Amino acid sequence: MNLRIAELGFAYPNGKQIFTEVNFSLKKGEIFTILGPNGAGKSTLLNCIGNLSEPTQGGIFLEKDNIKDLSLRQFAKQIGYVPQIHQPTYAFTVEEFVAMGRTPYLSAFKKLNQQDQWVIEEAMELVRITHLRNKAYTQLSGGERQLVTIARAIAQEPDFILLDEPTAHLDFGNQIKTMKLVKKLSDQGYGVIMTTHNPDQVFFIGGRVGVLNRSGAFEIGVVDQYLSEELLSNLYNEPVHLFYSDQLNRNICTAGA
């Protein structure tokens, strides 16, 4: 399965262009991070890929199919979307919440069956939240909620999972845990697209990165070759430093000199 973003652009109805000419493609098992400062339009780009906003130029293709031509149900079976953490209105239990990931496979007359239940169990097991199954979603911490939403996306049995700033509102420990989980997802064979405003996370993840700057230009490259101190300093208008850590076996990105 191949996800291809071709000549993608988005402009508001008032004509303000957010980004143009976004081109990249992704296979199952790969991770692609989208890096950019606040307000650059990362979420809008991810929403376009997730079929939640309609792009004004170009298109998104699953193999040869333009996603515009797929039903919402077909789309939901192939791409799972993990929104930013938020406070939900109703206190569904964790299991009920994860079960909603099965929605594209259900119909008015087909209720959850044994196999659906098995997929739900697997999804909860993979992100290690089985022990929370009877807890109310509203009573969870931010980090736990993030895990539950990821489990719901896994229960969709998609080929690709999109995560919108999965570490926003999380403490330091939960940020690292979430990044490890993202890597685990790709090891499990999911293609992952993730937005972030923290360049250090991009070095942790590795692979390919797309940088969206404030003018709406989008460039891609392999993380260690492409992300330089100069590029990052220009992106954030602040001197950014890279250090190689033998212990972590990767570049560390920080600022504040």
For another protein, which residue of 35, 41, 44, 95 counts as binding (CB under 8 A)?
A: 95
Q: Tell me which residues in 119-138 interact with another protein (CB under 8 A).
A: 133-134, 136, 138
Phi, psi dihedral angles at 203 (to 5 degrees): -65, -35
Instruction: Classify the phi-psi angles of 15: left when phi > 0, otherwise alpha if psi is within -120 to 50, otherwise beta.
Output: left
19 contacts another protein (rule: CB under 8 A) = no
Nearer to another protein, 109 or 243 (CB): 109
DSSP 3-state of 63? coil
Exactly one of 21, 96, 116, 229 binds another protein (CB under 8 A); that residue is 96
8-state DSSP, 48: H
CA distance 9 to 57: 5
* Selected binder of another protein within 33, 44, 51, 146 (CB under 8 A): 51
Element (DSSP H or E) covering residue 196: strand 191-196
Q: Which is nearer to another protein, 124 or 240 (CB)?
A: 124
Options 108, 173, 215, 256; binder of another protein; rule CB under 8 A: 108
Detail the DSSP E strand segments found in 12-90. 17-27, 31-35, 57-62, 65-66, 79-82
By CB under 8 A, tell whether 87 contacts another protein.
yes
**Which of helix, strand or coil describes residue 133?**
coil
Residue 50 binds another protein (CB under 8 A): yes
What is the Rg, in whole angstroms, of the alpha carbon atoms belonging to the chain? 19
Instruction: Please check whether residue 108 is in contact with residue 79, taking contact to mean a CB–CB distance below 8 angstroms.
Output: no
Is residue 89 close enough to count as binding another protein by CB under 8 A?
A: yes
Residue 75 interacts with another protein (CB under 8 A): yes or no: yes
Helix (H, G, I), strand (E, B) or coil at 228: coil
Q: Does 52 bind another protein (CB under 8 A)?
A: yes
Binding residues for another protein, how many (CB under 8 A)? 35
Residue whose CB is less far from another protein, 19 or 81: 81
Q: Is 100 in the site for another protein (CB under 8 A)?
A: yes
Q: Which amino acid is at 92?
A: F
Residue 12 engages another protein in binding (rule: CB under 8 A): no
Point out which residues bind another protein (CB under 8 A). 50-52, 71-77, 80-81, 83, 87-93, 95-96, 100-101, 103-104, 106, 108-109, 111, 133-134, 136, 138, 156
